[in-house]
Amino acid sequence: MKIEKNKVVGLSYELFVDDGEAGMEFFESVPKEEPFYFLFGAGQVFPMMEAALEGREVGYKFEIFIDFENGYGDYDETKKVIIAKSKFKEDGKKQKDLLKIGNVIPMQDDEGQHYRGEILKVDYKGVHMDFNPPLAGFDLLFKGEIVAIRDADPEEIEHGHVHGPGGHQH
């Protein structure tokens, strides 16, 4: 079976990142026993990755380089903001356990858009947060293998993501 639109693809890989200064450094791995599954053609992975995998079969080994501009983009200083501490209250009480440096908090803006923000600092001005993706500004190198391909279920196609083992559970 070949990878094409509406196929569920399982990958194992090692990801290496480069910020342009230190050279490629290991970042994470996804083992064959617990692959990363995605719905091909649904925009869940980088377009360059989809292009490199299209038409390939199980067992295909790959090395895919994605420069930062085609990955998570450049690091954007304007995505660092200060939010009033009063926005972090529940039942009128401060959430002190939540407001720790390094915590990553799911947030939502006034239009309902979801973001993840990392707490950089908490001081008298408020909660300093960074809404850049963690790998913004990094070139990415994926080294891996295609470990599974199957037809997507109609419900997966309708929802635009994988269900079941290795995928989203409802």
Q: What is the pLDDT of residues 21-40, one digit of tens each?
A: 878 999 999 999 999 999 99
Residue 41 within a domain: yes
Q: Of the candidates 76, 53, 42, 73, which has an alpha carbon nearest to the alpha carbon of residue 167?
A: 42
> Do residues 37 and 87 lie in contact, with contact meaning Cβ atoms separated by under 8 Å?
no
Distance, CA of 119 to CA of 128 (rounded, Å): 6
pLDDT at 163: 87
Both 23 and 103 in one domain: the answer is: no
Expressed in angstroms, the distance from the first to the final Cα of the chain is 27
Q: Tell me whether residue 1 is in a domain.
A: no
Look up tokens 């994470």; give the residue.
Answer: 28
pTM for this predicted structure? 0.83
* Whether the Cβ atoms of residue 68 and residue 74 lie closer than 8 Å to each other: yes
Tell me if 164 is assigned to some domain.
no
Q: How far apart are alpha carbons 16 and 143 in whole angstroms?
A: 8
Total of domains in the chain: 2
- Is the predicted pLDDT of residue 55 greater than 80, yes or no? yes
Each residue's pLDDT tens digit, 106-159: 988 888 888 899 999 999 999 999 999 999 999 999 999 999 999 999 999 999
- Same domain, yes or no, for 126 and 47? no
CA angle 2, 49, 4 (to 5 degrees): 25
- What is the span of the domain harbouring residue 125? 77-130
User: Does residue 47 belong to any structural domain of this protein?
Assistant: yes
Q: How far is it, in rounded angstroms, from Cα 87 to Cα 120?
A: 16
